[in-house]
Amino acid sequence: MLKLIKNAEVYTPQPIGRQDILIADEKIVRVAPEITGYDKLPDVEVLDAGGKRLAPGFIDLHVHVTGGGGEQGPASRVPEIRLSELVEAGVTTVLGLLGTDGTSRSVENLLYKTKALRQEGITAFMLTGSYQYPSVTITGDVIRDIALIDECVGAKVALSDHRSSNLTQQELVRLASDVRMGGLISGKAGLLVMHMGSGKQMLELIRRALEETEIPAKTFLPTHVGRNDGLIDDAIAFAKCGGVFDLTGDQEQTAAHSCGRYIRRALDAGVSIDHITLSSDGCGSMPRFDENGECIGLTYSTPGVLLKELRWAVQHEGIALETALAVVTSTPAKVLAQSGRKGCIAPGADADMVIFDKDLHITSVLARGKLARWEGKTLMRGTFEV
C-alpha cells in the first residue's frame, strides 16, 4: 500500500520547505518538492497536509509503560500506558523501563508490554533493571538480557536518590561495563539510563567513571537532570565530555522552570543540541517528599508534556523549532543507535511523522506508515481501548 502526503512544510528536523512524501508500507521512499504520477493509481492513498508543518515522530526515551509509582503502597501504583496516549502525544517510538518498584513490577511484564506496543503499531524498546542494584533481569544477567532479548537495548538504575541502592563507584563501573558489552555483542545501543535524584553526589560517580575507565560517555544517559541548577550544570559539564543528558518534561512550564530554559542554558554554555534529549517520564509517579523523606503527595506524568515543553521552548525561550524538535527526534534516535531509521524524514527511514497546526498542536500522526491520528481523530488504539 502506497501513501502520498502532499503539501507539507517538512522539518527533517531541519526545515527543507514544501515537500511531498511517498510512503511504501512502513518506509519513506521519496521526498521531493513535487511527486507526480501516483495520485491516480489504484491503491495509492493521497493525504493533503494543507501546508502544515510535518516533522519526525517523537521518540520518548523514558516511559513507564507498565506503570510506575508505589511510594504510598499498592494503591498508589500507576496504571499501564495506553497506546492512544502515546500516539495522541506524537510519540511513535518509546523506550519502556521500570522505576522505584522492581518487585511487584517485573521486567518480564515490561517485555510483554513492549511486545504488545509493537504489535499494536508503534516502535518500542525496553531496558532491563530498575532503581535497585543488583539489577533485576529476565535471564539472570544484564549482558544476556541485552544480547538475547531483541527489544532490550540497555539497563536502568538510580543514583543520588534516597530510594536508590546507593551504588559504589565500583558497582556503577561494573554495571556500565556489562551494559557496554551487551550492546557490543548484539549491535545495540548498550545504554545505561540513570535516574538522577536530588542527592549531593549529583553526577560525581559518572564523572569519575569517565576519568578512571575507558567506558565511553555515550554509554551513560543521566535523566531528570533539570531538578536544580547545580544538577543541570553537572549535566552540562558531562555533555562537554561527550555525553548526552536527558531532561524530563513537566505538566506546567514557568519562566523559572522549564526544559526550554535548561536547553537555552546548555546551548549558551556551548553544548550542541545533539547532546540533549527530552523525555516525558510517562506514567511515572511524581511524589512530593518533605524534609524527612516522607511522601506527602503523589501524581503521575503523561507523554503529552513533550509537546507542552516544545511549544514553551519555541514560544517563550526563542529556540528555533528545528532545534527544539531535535531533542525529541534526531538526538534520541542517535542515543538508541537508530539514526537513519528513526528521528528523521528521509528515504529509507521509518514513516513515523507528526503534523502540527500553526499553534504547534498535533493534528495528525503516522506510525510505521499507518495513520494513527488524522485531523484530530485518533485512529490507532490499544486492543482493549474503547
CA 48 → CA 4, 18, 364, distances in Å? 8, 12, 11
Q: 1: helix, coil or strand?
A: coil
Report yes or no: 34 and 349 within 8 Å, Cβ to Cβ: no
Grid cell for residue 345: 524524514
CA distance 277 to 290: 29
Distance of CA 100 to the CA centre of its chain: 19
Q: 310: helix, coil or strand?
A: helix
Selected catalytic residue, list 281, 290, 350, 359: 281
DSSP E strand stretches across the chain: 2-11, 15-24, 27-32, 44-48, 53-56, 58-63, 91-96, 123-129, 152-159, 191-196, 220-223, 245-248, 276-279, 285-289, 295-300, 353-356, 362-367, 370-374, 377-378
**Strand 370-374 relative to strand 377-378, pairing:** antiparallel
To the query of whether residue 281 is one of the catalytic residues in this protein, the response is: yes
CA distance 271 to 179: 26
**Which residue intervals of the chain are DSSP H helices?**
83-88, 107-120, 142-148, 169-186, 204-212, 229-240, 259-268, 305-316, 321-326, 330-335
Backbone angles phi, psi at 132, to 5 degrees: -85, 160
CA distance 77 to 74: 6
* Residues marked as catalytic: 281
